Amino acid sequence: MPDPSIPCVLARDVPLLCIEGLAYRANGRTILECVDLEVRKNEIHALLGANGSGKTTLARIIMGCAGYAPNAGAMRFEGRDLSGFALHERARLGISLSWQEPARFEGLAVYRFLSLGASGPAPSECLRRVGLEPEAFLRRALDKSLSGGERKRIELASMLALKPRLALLDEPAAGIDMPSLEEIERLILDLRGAGGAVLLITHVEPVARIADRASYLCGGRIAFTGDPAAAAARYRERAR
């Protein structure tokens, strides 16, 4: 089993995340094929694509979720081969995933949730940054009594608390009203400002515009990587 504590030799030009020729098949169907993607250190990289294009699947593969082992290709984090690393080992390396549909944890207080493995701001500060009043939420349970939008904000707050080296944000604007998109954009910029990189998975163009670079995923393949405006134009053209 790989040991996440073993250092690897780094070069200045080695990307934080490098994916080459990745393929994934499930139930006899090809979901991803020949995916090449790089996320640079301290970069916001948007991944645009329609629903069902494989964006969430790719995020789960990067995170090492059970049942999402690629069928082909290579994936490296700071030059280190990630094959064989379990989810918790990738988390130790500094990779963290914000789910499109946040989980509920019966009996777990929001304060405790935001304190697990935290190395960033205090829980109260993290809640404020996502537009929630700490006094109203810190002692509440992370269960069905919270709305989907509230759970989404709390999960995003957890990303600030964790301060990951690579934040995988799967549709961070889902379930959050449009006037709050500026808060989401500030949060993404805060994650980069703390020294991390962000893979921003979205189909919401106003959110993707803050990226440094963007890739367009279509039919399970990366069809374009470059300027975010150009990637958005490709996405709009294909969506017609």
pLDDT given at position 64? 96
- What is the average pLDDT across 6-21? 73
What digits encode the pLDDT tens for the residues 29-70? 999 999 999 999 999 999 999 888 999 999 999 999 999 999
Span 109-113, average pLDDT: 92
- Which of 5-19, 53-67, 87-101 has the highest mean predicted lDDT (pLDDT)? 53-67
What mean pLDDT is predicted for residues 158-175? 89
User: What domains, with CATH codes, occur in the chain?
Assistant: 17-239 (3.40.50.300)
Over the range 56-83, which residues count as b (16 or more CB within 10 Å of their CB) and which as e?
bbbbbbbbbbeebebeebebbbbebebe
- DSSP per-residue string spanning 182-232: HHHHHHHHHHHHTT-EEEEEES-HHHHTT-SEEEEEETTEEEEEE-HHHHH
* More confidently predicted of 178 and 44: 44
